[in-house]
Structure 1
Amino acid sequence: MIYGIIAIVLVGLFFMLTYNGLVTLRQRVKNAWSQVDVQLRRRYDLIPNLVNTVKGYVKHERETFEKVTEARTRAMSAGTVQEQANAESMLSGTLKSLFAVAENYPQLKADSNFKQLQEELGNTESKIAFARQFYNDTVQKYNTKIQVFPTVLIAGMLGFTEETYFNLDGDAAARQPVDVKFD
């Protein structure tokens, strides 16, 4: 009788600890994603200032400006992690085009506002990379936890599902960081 009660208490304790551990990891994944989102929002706030600064010097590159604006809008409205990753790949590519245009204008490269925006964007890109890495590390811990025995039994019963990694899609050039040059 006493052994039965002890067994039930131990099973209940195991179930409770496992459930709480899964909830904690799931919340860490959500927190890590919100940190990525904060840095992406900062990036989105910098882009219009950068585009307007470049526009002041470069009047005939309208197509480049439109692509950057469209990519920014698409990235801001992405819903899932995968949609966000795809949109970020596109945005990185268009920002590279914008900086390539800026390279052809020495007076623009010398402009203090442009230099400051380049520096801020470079810092933001580093923060995004760190936040993305932290998010993916947290997702890896969570996904591993819900797949290992005996946690997999409880995770499956309670509806814990795998989270998506934040991976940039597209060609190899889109996987590279935005090239911010300080001349």
Structure 2
Amino acid sequence: MDQSTDMSPAFIALIAVGVVALLALIWLIATFNRLVSTRQHMRESWADIDVELKRRYDLIPNLVAAVKGYAAHESSVLEQVVRLRNTAAANHGAAAEQAVDETALAIGLKQLFAVVENYPQLKADTQFLALQQELAITEDRLAAARRFFNANVREMNQLCDTFPSNFVASMFNVERGSYFELANDAERTAPRVAIEA
């Protein structure tokens, strides 16, 4: 009898177990790498949001200074916007925590633009218009970055919640992400001032 074609059942079972273990190990590594990659995408997309937030924070003092030149007696609104800006800029917590401060800042900016409506000369001021345009562009970029970040958070959360990748996530203590969402749809739009012809 030829030894090369005669394999014992124990040897065949050992090979089968080895193949299953190898496939399980490959799946484990692939799932772990996907979790790590998604977490890195979340970090990168948060960095994009951070850049736009810093740009917004830099624009707000200039905007307040332009309004102050025309509406100095509206100091309570101006001071509130500066305070909200400083609070939002100082928050380096989770996305959900920072969204609370950003929502308050968006409401404060809406109040500032409501004040501007009472000053036609200010609405026609070229410096103010340029600052307002820069803020609108920044808000648009911020909205796009927020959508990208939230898509990455959604993917991470799906991986952490769905079977069987949730086993790998729990095994390696991979945490779910928190969304960066403003409080309601009205606050999600960039503040704008109508320009009268």
Task: State the TM-score bracket (shorter-chain normalisation).
Answer: over 0.9
Q: Please state how far the C-alpha of 1:133 moved relative to its aligned partner.
A: 1.0
Q: Please state how far the C-alpha of 1:12 moved relative to its aligned partner.
A: 1.2
Instruction: Tell me how far apart the structure 2 counterparts of residues 140 and 83 of structure 1 sit (CA, whole Å).
Output: 17
Instruction: Tell me how far apart the structure 2 counterparts of residues 145 and 119 of structure 1 sit (CA, whole Å).
Output: 39
Q: Which amino acid aligns with 2:172?
A: L
Aligned equivalent of 1:34: 47
Instruction: Tell me how far apart the structure 2 counterparts of residues 178 and 14 of structure 1 sit (CA, whole Å).
Output: 44
Please list the CA deviations of residues 65-117 of structure 1 after superposition, one character each: whole Å capped at 9, or x if unmatched: 11001100111111221221000111011111111111111111111100000
Which of 154, 165, 189 is equivalent to 1:177? 189
Larger radius of gyration: 2
User: Where does 1:60-71 land on structure 2 (aligned, <5 Å)?
Assistant: 60-71=73-84
Unaligned runs of 5+ in 1: none
The answer (yes or no) to whether the contact 2:57–2:85 under 8 Å persists in 1 is yes
Q: Which amino acid aligns with 2:190?
A: V
Aligned equivalent of 1:11: 24
Q: Which amino acid aligns with 1:152?
A: N
Q: Please state how far the C-alpha of 1:172 moved relative to its aligned partner.
A: 6.3
Q: Please state how far the C-alpha of 1:182 moved relative to its aligned partner.
A: 4.1
User: Where does 1:24-103 land on structure 2 (aligned, <5 Å)?
Assistant: 24-78=37-91, 79-103=93-117
Aligned equivalent of 2:163: 149
Instruction: Tell me how far apart the structure 2 counterparts of residues 60 and 182 of structure 1 sit (CA, whole Å).
Output: 22
Aligned equivalent of 1:107: 121
Which of 116, 120, 123 is equivalent to 2:134? 120
Instruction: Tell me how far apart the structure 2 counterparts of residues 136 and 104 of structure 1 sit (CA, whole Å).
Output: 37
Identity of aligned residues (%): 41
CA RMSD after TM alignment: 1.4
Instruction: Tell me how far apart the structure 2 counterparts of residues 77 and 2 of structure 1 sit (CA, whole Å).
Output: 59
Instruction: Tell me how far apart the structure 1 counterparts of residues 145 and 45 of structure 2 sit (CA, whole Å).
Output: 7
The answer (yes or no) to whether the contact 1:95–1:178 under 8 Å persists in 2 is no
The answer (yes or no) to whether the contact 1:85–1:166 under 8 Å persists in 2 is yes
Between the two proteins, the alignment pairs up a number of residues equal to: 181
Q: Bigger CA drift: 64-73 or 29-38?
A: 29-38
The answer (yes or no) to whether the contact 2:140–2:190 under 8 Å persists in 1 is no
Please say if 1:134 is aligned against 2:148.
yes
Q: Please state how far the C-alpha of 1:39 moved relative to its aligned partner.
A: 0.8
Which of 155, 161, 174 is equivalent to 2:175? 161
Unaligned runs of 5+ in 2: 1-13
Q: Please state how far the C-alpha of 1:181 moved relative to its aligned partner.
A: 2.0
User: Segments of 4+ in structure 1 off by > 6 A?
Assistant: none
Q: Which amino acid aligns with 1:77?
A: A
Instruction: Tell me how far apart the structure 2 counterparts of residues 18 and 83 of structure 1 sit (CA, whole Å).
Output: 29
